[in-house]
Amino acid sequence: MTDSLETALGHEFTDDSILAAALVHRSYTAEHPDIADNERHEFLGDAVLQLVVTDFLFKHYPSMREGEMAKVRAACVNRVELAAIARELGLGDHIAMGVGELASGGRKKDSILADAMEAVLCAVYLDAGLEASRHVILRHWTGLIRSKAQAPGGRDFKTRLQERLASRGLRPDYVIEDAGPDHAKVFRASVSVEGVVLGTGSGRSKKEAEQEAARQALGDESDV
């Protein structure tokens, strides 16, 4: 049942019971008191996610101050972004929920998806350690982190590229392609000016792919 989730996640569990425990919503536990919910997993998963994101920012953005790093991290690990990544993974289809929660559309709720995403990251950590967790997190979060790591003035990579080209009377053109099944779709973007490709990028969403293509097109300027 969870094979498709493991494929989308990018981690094959050595102990399937760890993943199963991370997929139990409290509404299921209310109907099955002998089975623990995943709330403890959420707590640890949140800590692992924050550590990996913070470490990435610290290493890749040496000029970014503490307050800026805190803002970028918060923008990457909030409920909306967690739920969005959970949807890309098809995580909602694998969560064990109570009958009432299912009937109320629980598989689509941001709060449930976000919490389950944290719990699954905890499961990866428990199954294989921090480096495996880092691999999974950066696979799904790198594009988002880079897009949130804005330059002074709050301009993201696409905006910065557009402004730089506009000063020369030019405009960027983006082409998007996607590949893979719906539960593990990867988007690839290229950005060009007058037919000349300046950068390419990939991501789990169109936005991430475009941001990565723009970042590559900016070159060294993307780090300032």
Residue numbers annotated as active site: 46, 118
Q: Is 181 helix (H, G, I), strand (E, B) or coil?
A: coil
Q: CA 36, 38, 44 angle in degrees (round to 5)?
A: 130
DSSP state of 63: T
Q: 187: phi > 0 → left, psi -120 to 50 → alpha, else beta; which?
A: beta
CA distance 157 to 160: 5
Which stretch of DSSP H or E encloses residue 172? none
Beta strands in the chain (DSSP E): 173-179, 186-193, 196-203
What is the full DSSP assignment across 65-119? Answer: -HHHHHHHHHHHSSHHHHHHHHHHHTGGGG-B--HHHHHTTGGG-HHHHHHHHHH
For residue 137, what are its two tokens? 């997190």
For residue 21, what are its two tokens? 């425990």
